[in-house]
Amino acid sequence: MAIQRSPLAPASFPALAPVAGVRLATRACGIRYTDRPDACLIELAPGTPVAGVLTRSLTASAPILWCRKALSGGRARAILVNAGNANAFTGAAGRDSVERVVGAVARKFNCKEREVFVASTGVIGEPLPDGKLTGALEGLRADLAADNWAAAAAAIMTTDTYPKGATRQAEIGGVPVTLNGIAKGSGMIAPDMATMLSFVVTDAKIPAKTLQALLKPAADASFNSITVDSDTSTSDTLLVCATGAAKHRRVSGRSDPLLRGFRAALDDLLRDLAHQVVRDGEGAQKFVTIAVSGAASRRAARRIGLAIANSPLVKTAIAGEDANWGRIVMAVGKAGERADRDRLTIEIGGVAVARDGQVVPGYDEAPVARHMQGQEIHIAVDVGVGRGKATVWTCDLTHAYIDINADYRS
Amino acid sequence: MAIQRSPLAPASFPALAPVAGVRLATRACGIRYTDRPDACLIELAPGTPVAGVLTRSLTASAPILWCRKALSGGRARAILVNAGNANAFTGAAGRDSVERVVGAVARKFNCKEREVFVASTGVIGEPLPDGKLTGALEGLRADLAADNWAAAAAAIMTTDTYPKGATRQAEIGGVPVTLNGIAKGSGMIAPDMATMLSFVVTDAKIPAKTLQALLKPAADASFNSITVDSDTSTSDTLLVCATGAAKHRRVSGRSDPLLRGFRAALDDLLRDLAHQVVRDGEGAQKFVTIAVSGAASRRAARRIGLAIANSPLVKTAIAGEDANWGRIVMAVGKAGERADRDRLTIEIGGVAVARDGQVVPGYDEAPVARHMQGQEIHIAVDVGVGRGKATVWTCDLTHAYIDINADYRS
């Protein structure tokens, strides 16, 4: 079955300028794919601070367990990523593979092992042929270049239908800094394929602890606010590295006013990458924004939003271009967060279809129907109990999702 | 689109013997369907104890709010059910409808209002034309008969493809008692249709409090252990009524040894009805049993089981007859309950495919592949941390689910 480029894909991969202190290389190692680069090495200037958010899965992959440990060191010299094999559910052999790879990279870069990060995405449960990766190391290092962003984004793809990248500029105390990021992922876990990976770098000079403090809320409002099919991967990895090559004033912590512009740029970059993952959601035909307000807290609002976004009945209704607000009411009810049924308000495409717990009598269905026929669907829900707000993003649930995931063998 | 009888349906509706103290009638009221009975009245002997389990949805329907109140009285004289309109998300008008219907039934049976139970299933958000129901009351009462079980099961259907009923016999202190039950439901909430209803009666003599104590665990192991699409309806209702016509010895509480047989029969009856709901799951082609063991508690085991059962990736793999244990590992990881990744064991169709956190090297794929081609799929998962066990049931996720729920209007 040929997988077509998502109809929601951006027109092209953006132009990513080099970031001082970062070089990238890719290589075809034949781990699973035989006709394309499947490994990506990212080199970072010595001593680069790193922050990360990793999957909360209790069956996390071997690379995740390593990264959890390595993150406590707060420095990254190299990130080695492979596609085609997730090194998940591989037991002690998986751990040994990671140790061999990490050791080889550390020797190559003459750095500590805990300055080496690894990420693997692909089939679960098969031993990682790590020799193919370590064997490619010398070639990867020789090819390192500052302008390899598009190739890097392509090398980490699995079932993605397009490479995902984004770039932003900001100023810290008047000094320009750049943020570049790449990502992959098209289901929370694709056909046997685990997962969502994203790597972001900047030349800003930010200590690891501050970077982590900036990353957490930014990840919550982006990658933790998207869903394709409610499934959670064994391998989700988001790393942010700050080489410190930019010569700006020293920053004093996450609340430093100097960081205002950087923080906004990081938030925006991660949201952009997260949206690109949703737009490549398996079988997606429509990009859906769900804004929840009036909840008891921001966290409650996000849970309500995700309950709506994960409901198969809401998602199939959207696929069918049906403004089925009854299913939205149902999803609010199952979220387990406080909501006042009799103050519930729902807008679709900006038109109020339900207010104070009842359908709006005689609302104009024509603009709502037209909105549902578009590619960008906007749903706003106010649950009438507080001031908590959150926005989440998802896609519709279509026949193509079944096609992609029901791998008819018979 | 014509909906065909589910391939997983039982061969025929079972023969339900009359239960002393119970009579039923059905009638076409034209609430939404114009070509079939859509109302069902169940009359119970005066003073019949009743117990119930209702949806936990926070956007529950008007009938649910009434039943919550009425259940505190512990007696049922009549249950009036309609299909086609759920009287959900109808605000004050919905509550007024319920009050009019309940008042009319109470006058007709000369009983207290809180001895009248109502249930509505069908579209959400439209006012219930309650006059059609109350107008049919006299005719319904005239038609009451002890042998109307099959008609009653049919009258409460919405998107169900077959009527659901079950019967069991038990003895209490040597005296035979009968349990009859009917149910409807095919998604947690079907196309605009809300949802799972079940009514069970017995001639056993059991006080309401004891009946409630028996019902809770029985419901947890049956209707609360099934899932079609993870969605929760605004209207789920399960009522059990015990007319007390059987002349057995008095029972002293839920742990009374006299009740052992009855308890087993009730458990079995509810499980049968719950399975019938899953077998009518929208688009279902396969009936899936997921047995979880080794969890921290029974509750944890059930949550892990439901995480597997609700995973779109697991469900599409089953639809594709793919023994994709990697997705099962993923679902265990996202359940949020303790599991030891490196002691995880997975059996499919009785064959161990993964053990101690790794695929079983060279396991025989042939019997597993044959098993996946069948209609009855068995998955067993041991998560290796404790002694908690639970079994849940679901169906696969197929193109037909999308067909049924994406009501292509364009």
Lowest mean pLDDT among A311-315, A369-373, B244-248: A311-315
Whether residues B27 and B174 fall in one domain: yes
B96 contacts in A (CB within 8 Å)? none
Whether residues A256 and A152 fall in one domain: yes
**Which pLDDT does position A188 carry in this prediction?**
52
Element (H, E) at A240: strand A237-242
Report the distance separating Cα A48 and Cα A180, nearest Å.
15
* HEC sequence for B90-112: CHHHHHHHHHHHHHHHHHHHCCC
Inter-chain contact B59–A326, Cβ cutoff 8 Å?
A: no
**Which pLDDT does position B187 carry in this prediction?**
61
Whether residues B329 and B249 fall in one domain: no
Whether residues B211 and B331 fall in one domain: no
Whether residues B181 and B235 fall in one domain: yes
Nearest-Cα distance to chain A for B21, in Å, is: 36
Element (H, E) at B88: none
Q: Which of B234, B253, B279 is the last residue of a domain?
A: B279
CB nearest to B326's CB, from A60, A123, A187: A123
Does residue B234 sit within a domain? yes
pLDDT (mean) for A188-199: 65
Closest of A393, A399, A192 to residue A277, by C-alpha? A393
pLDDT digits (tens, 9 = 90+) for A219-247: 999 999 998 776 777 889 999 999 999 99
**Which pLDDT does position A367 carry in this prediction?**
96
What is each CA distance from A352 to A61, A316, A360, A371, B88, in whole angstroms?
45, 21, 7, 13, 18
**Which pLDDT does position B24 carry in this prediction?**
98
CB nearest to B357's CB, from A89, A354, A405: A89
Inter-chain contact B89–A187, Cβ cutoff 8 Å?
A: no
Nearest chain B Cα to A316, which residue?
B406
Boundaries of domain holding A325: 287-405
Does residue A11 sit within a domain? no
Q: Is A355 on the interface with B (CB under 8 A)?
A: no
Q: Report the amino acid identity of residue B242.
A: A
Instruction: Indicate whether A386 pLDDT > 50.
Output: yes
Q: Using CB atoms and an 8 Å cut-off, which of residues 143-182 of chain A contact chain B?
A: none
Lowest mean pLDDT among A120-129, A190-199, B207-216, B280-289: A190-199
Strand order in the sheet with B287-295: B226-227, B388-395, B287-295, B376-382, B345-348, B351-355, B358-359
Q: Using CB atoms and an 8 Å cut-off, which of residues 44-73 of chain B contact chain A?
A: 55, 57-60
**Which pLDDT does position B410 carry in this prediction?**
34
**Which pLDDT does position A235 carry in this prediction?**
87
Q: Is A383 on the interface with B (CB under 8 A)?
A: no
Asked if B271 contacts B217 with a C-beta cutoff of 8 angstroms, the reply is no
- SS3 of residue A72 by DSSP: coil
Q: Is B363 on the interface with A (CB under 8 A)?
A: no
How many CB atoms lie under 10 A from the CB of residue B15? 10
Nearest chain B Cα to A194, which residue?
B330
pLDDT (mean) for A123-149: 96
| Largest Cα–Cα separation, chain B | 71
Report the distance separating Cα B50 and Cα B69, nearest Å.
13
Does residue A9 sit within a domain? no
Beta bridge partners of A43: A23, A78
Inter-chain contact B401–A332, Cβ cutoff 8 Å?
A: no
Inter-chain contact B341–A125, Cβ cutoff 8 Å?
A: no
CB nearest to B333's CB, from A57, A92, A93: A57
Whether residues B346 and B264 fall in one domain: no
Asked if B26 contacts B80 with a C-beta cutoff of 8 angstroms, the reply is no
Asked if B319 contacts A406 with a C-beta cutoff of 8 angstroms, the reply is yes
Q: Which of B226, B254, B279 is the last residue of a domain?
A: B279
pTM of the model: 0.88
Does residue B7 sit within a domain? no
Q: Six-digit token pair at B169?
A: 């016999």
CB burial string A172-202: b at 16+ within 10 A, e below: beeeebbbbbbbbbbbbbbbbbbbbbbbbbb
Q: Is A219 on the interface with B (CB under 8 A)?
A: no
Asked if B155 contacts B127 with a C-beta cutoff of 8 angstroms, the reply is no
pLDDT digits (tens, 9 = 90+) for A47-106: 999 999 998 888 889 999 999 999 999 999 999 999 999 999 998 999 999 999 999 999
Q: Is A324 on the interface with B (CB under 8 A)?
A: yes
Report the distance separating Cα A246 and Cα A175, nearest Å.
7
Digitized pLDDT (tens) for each residue of chain B, 410 residues in all: 456 899 999 999 999 999 999 999 999 999 999 999 999 999 999 999 999 999 888 888 999 999 999 999 999 999 999 999 999 989 899 999 999 999 999 999 999 999 999 999 988 888 999 999 999 999 999 999 999 999 999 999 998 999 999 999 999 999 999 999 999 987 654 334 457 899 999 999 999 999 999 999 999 999 999 987 767 778 899 999 999 999 999 999 999 999 999 999 999 999 999 999 999 988 899 999 999 999 999 999 999 999 999 898 899 999 999 999 988 998 998 888 999 988 999 999 999 999 988 889 889 999 999 999 999 999 999 999 999 999 999 999 998 888 888 864 43
Domain count, chain B: 2
Q: Which of A258, A279, A300 is the last residue of a domain?
A: A279
Active-site residue, B158 included: no
Q: Of B159, B195, B202, B237, which one is the catalytic site residue?
A: B195
What is each CA distance from A230 to A54, A208, A306, A396, B297, in whole angstroms?
17, 31, 8, 12, 24
What is each CA distance from B85 to A314, B94, B158, B254, in whole angstroms?
19, 11, 10, 36
Q: Report the amino acid identity of residue A245.
A: A
Does residue B267 sit within a domain? yes
Report the distance separating Cα B348 and Cα B380, nearest Å.
6
Does residue A324 sit within a domain? yes
Closest of B204, B144, B196, B199 to residue B169, by C-alpha? B204
**Which pLDDT does position A314 carry in this prediction?**
93
Does residue B17 sit within a domain? no
**Which pLDDT does position A139 carry in this prediction?**
98
Q: Is A398 on the interface with B (CB under 8 A)?
A: yes
Instruction: Indicate whether A187 pLDDT > 90.
Output: no
**Which pLDDT does position A58 carry in this prediction?**
84
Nearest-Cα distance to chain B for A126, in Å, is: 8
Does residue B377 sit within a domain? yes
**Which pLDDT does position A194 carry in this prediction?**
53
Report the distance separating Cα B64 and Cα B56, nearest Å.
10
**Which pLDDT does position A192 carry in this prediction?**
47
Whether residues A304 and A160 fall in one domain: no
Whether residues A237 and A301 fall in one domain: no
Q: What angle is formed at CA B108 by the lines to CA B104 and CA B114, rounded to 5 degrees?
A: 65
Whether residues A250 and A272 fall in one domain: yes
In whole numbers, what is the pLDDT of chain A averaged over residues?
93
Q: Six-digit token pair at B230?
A: 């993870």
Report the distance separating Cα A5 and Cα A280, nearest Å.
8
pLDDT digits (tens, 9 = 90+) for A24-54: 999 999 999 999 999 999 999 999 999 999 9
Closest of A50, A269, A40 to residue A148, by C-alpha? A40
Whether residues A296 and A242 fall in one domain: no
pLDDT (mean) for A268-278: 95
The CATH number for A342's domain is 3.10.20.340
Whether residues B26 and B128 fall in one domain: yes
Q: Is A375 on the interface with B (CB under 8 A)?
A: no
- Phi-psi domain of B353 (left: phi exceeds 0; alpha: psi -120 through 50; beta: other): alpha
B359 contacts in A (CB within 8 Å)? 89, 125-126
CB burial string B320-335: b at 16+ within 10 A, e below: bbbbbbbbbbbbbbbb
Whether residues A294 and A234 fall in one domain: no
A317 contacts in B (CB within 8 Å)? 405-407
Q: Six-digit token pair at B216?
A: 């809770």
Closest of B325, B292, B177, B331 to residue B243, by C-alpha? B177
Inter-chain contact A231–B358, Cβ cutoff 8 Å?
A: no
Report the distance separating Cα B272 and Cα A190, nearest Å.
35
**Which pLDDT does position A1 carry in this prediction?**
44
Instruction: Indicate whether A8 pLDDT > 50.
Output: yes
